[in-house]
Amino acid sequence: MSAQTADQPWLARTGEPMLEIANLSVFYGNIAAVQDLSLDVRKGEIVTVVGSNGAGKSTTLRTISGLIKPRKGTITFQGDQIQGKKGNEVVRRGICHSPEGRRIFPRMTVDENLDLGAFLQNDKAAVAAERDRVLELFPRLAERINQKAGTMSGGEQQMLAVGRAMMGNPTLLLLDEPSMGLAPILVDLIFDTIEKIRDQGTTILLVEQNALAALRIADYAYVMESGHLKLEGDAKQLSRDDAIVRAYLGG
């Protein structure tokens, strides 16, 4: 496989798309944040969207989650169009979002933050099982379970943000800049855990400014620049192409 520009045919991937974005454009007032974006995510993949700050990556995730309405284009999840639907409806369909900047509730305990992640779940046994899964993935959270979230380190707060999203038992997990502001050893821990989450059966769409770290664990990658899709391809191939790294990935 080789990398390709956005106007070339997509590389062969197995299975039907779980999530498919077609010709998506998103504006803030008169300013275009995302323009004519098309991408897809297949079941069982880690797909990453990389690019510099302001490329439109976070806007894309916020639009999928129903936090922003697109000006045009479609977002199809498991056969149903979801563009423009409210955030709680998107979560109910199986898409959960760990946002940029963590957005944990600092005056609430770790336990209370996790409870909020399961606010749409009615099956107590399933919620308890998901909590056990989260605490197994992030043992540090188990140690801090009754601690106020705002008193924890940045790395612990990021673990909580991901864990809270996992409490919704997502089919598709959206992760927005999970490595932002973390020490290198914690970046490795977070990315190793993302791989474990995928291996347990959750499909992941990962937005990252730390492009090379994201490409290390991803199956497929999209490169955005100034709201446009510039490149897509097998993640490992992209990471090994020196010209692409220099041009798009800050190498």
The predicted structure's pLDDT at residue 146 = 95
Helix (H, G, I), strand (E, B) or coil at 107: coil
Of 156, 171, 167, nearest to 204 by C-alpha is 171
DSSP designation for 43: T
Strand order in the sheet with 72-77: 31-42, 17-28, 72-77, 80-81
pLDDT tens figures, 52-68: 888 999 999 999 999 99
User: Of 11, 7, 26, 9, whose CA–CA distance to 74 is shortest?
Assistant: 26
Q: How far apart are CA 163 and CA 117, in angstroms?
A: 8
Count the alpha carbons within 13 Å of 160 in the hemisphere toward its beta carbon.
32
What pLDDT shows up at residue 178?
Answer: 92
Q: List 34's β-bridge partners, or say none.
A: 26
CATH number given to 15-94+170-251: 3.40.50.300
pTM over 0.75: yes
How many C-alpha atoms does 111 have within 13 Å on its Cβ side?
A: 7
pLDDT in tens, 203-251: 999 998 888 899 999 999 999 999 999 999 999 999 888 877 777 776 5
Q: What is the pLDDT of residue 4?
A: 52
Where do the domains of the chain lie? 15-94+170-251, 101-163
> Which regions in the chain score pLDDT beneath 70?
1-12, 250-251
CA–CA distance, 142 with 136 (Å, rounded to integer): 8
* Full 3-state SS string of 235-249: HHHHHHCHHHHHHHC
Q: Give the number of residues written for the chain.
A: 251
3-state secondary structure of 6: coil
| Cα–Cα distance for residue pair 184/89, rounded to 1 Å | 36
> Would you state the pLDDT for residue 251?
57
Residue 76 token pair: 């199809």
DSSP codes of every residue in 125-185: HHHHHHHHHHHHH-HHHHHTTTSBGGGS-HHHHHHHHHHHHHTT--SEEEEE-TTTT--HH
Listed in sequence order, the residues at least 6 apart from 63 whose beta carbon sits closer than 8 Å to its beta carbon are 24, 26, 34, 69, 70, 75, 83
- What pLDDT is attached to residue 9? 40
Residue 71 DSSP label? S
Q: CA-to-CA distance for 63 and 32, rounded, in angstroms?
A: 13
pLDDT at residue 214 in the model: 93
> Which residues on neighbouring strands pair with residue 94, listed in sequence order?
none
